[in-house]
Structure 1
Amino acid sequence: MTTQQVADKFYELSQLGAFDKIQTELYSRGAKSIEPAHAPFPNAEGIDAIIQKGKQFNETIAEMHGGYTSAPIVAGNFFSCTMGMDVTFKGQSRTKFDEVAVYEVKDGKIILEQFFF
């Protein structure tokens, strides 16, 4: 798949909330996930570690009130989108947050995700 095709499939699946399917279908086995220094979760390397990080994040959620992913913008081997959540984390008050996500594609698979918030 081209970067545009990966980005389009990512967007299609994100609109369904199928982030687990995004990871299993679109990510390379050796993909890397990079978080900002202030993020509560560490960086991860390898699809198994990325999936585990997602599970740990989901375990912190008491209630999901809504979320969005914008249509991707593609440039070369990269695409980016904005994402946001309206969520109540366990033991905390309801909060909304937004981030910019950048993805790198090589050989038809996502090899890097990096988040900015």
Structure 2
Amino acid sequence: MSPGKTGNVEAIANKLREYCVKGDFTDAQKAMYADDVVSTEPEEMKGFSKETKGKKAVADKMDKWLSSVDKVHRVDVSEPQIAGNAFSFVLQMDLTMKGQERMSMPEICVYTVKDGKVVSEQFFW
């Protein structure tokens, strides 16, 4: 892969990290995700599919998840690790979900980039 392409992925990774540090997940998706993005969770959860396809469906999934959050106390995001057209970081959230106790929610987030946009996201927790 040419240095320009790797640099582009690095810039995208750093920009997405900036959004996540601020907890601005919705605007990150609007600005950085491809129309045909695919989002994959480690398993199907109540009310959430294992795999979600398309920018609108992924945005709807985010809205649904955000509506289940009572309060975000803190968000920490590691520096991105970049390999070719992919990158990852550790996202650590301290939050309170509606009707639940405060919790720590760590996950590894892996993203793939194509033509300057995120085309896939996969979460491991």
Fold-level match, TM-score > 0.5? yes
Task: Tell me, yes or no, if structure 1 residue 115 matches structure 2 residue 115.
Answer: no
Which residue does 1:37 correspond to in 2? Answer: 43
Task: Tell me, yes or no, if structure 1 residue 96 matches structure 2 residue 111.
Answer: no
Of stretches 67-76 and 14-23 in structure 1, the one that deviates more from structure 2 is 14-23
The number of residues matched between the two structures is 117
If the length of structure 2 is used for normalisation, what is the TM-score? 0.87
For structure 1, the residue ranges without an aligned partner over 5 or more in a row are none
Cα-to-partner distance string for 1:34-73 (whole Å, 9 max, x where unaligned): 0011544212100101110011101111122112111111
Which residue does 1:24 correspond to in 2? Answer: 30
2:43 and 2:20 map into 1 onto residues whose CA distance is 25
For structure 2, the residue ranges without an aligned partner over 5 or more in a row are none
1:54 and 1:79 map into 2 onto residues whose CA distance is 20
2:123 and 2:117 map into 1 onto residues whose CA distance is 18
The amino acid of 2:79's aligned partner reads A
Superposition RMSD in Å: 1.4
1:55 and 1:64 map into 2 onto residues whose CA distance is 15
1:83 and 1:115 map into 2 onto residues whose CA distance is 10
1:20 and 1:11 map into 2 onto residues whose CA distance is 13
Q: After TM superposition, which residue ranges in structure 1, 4 or more long, deviate above 6 angstroms? A: none
If the length of structure 1 is used for normalisation, what is the TM-score? 0.92
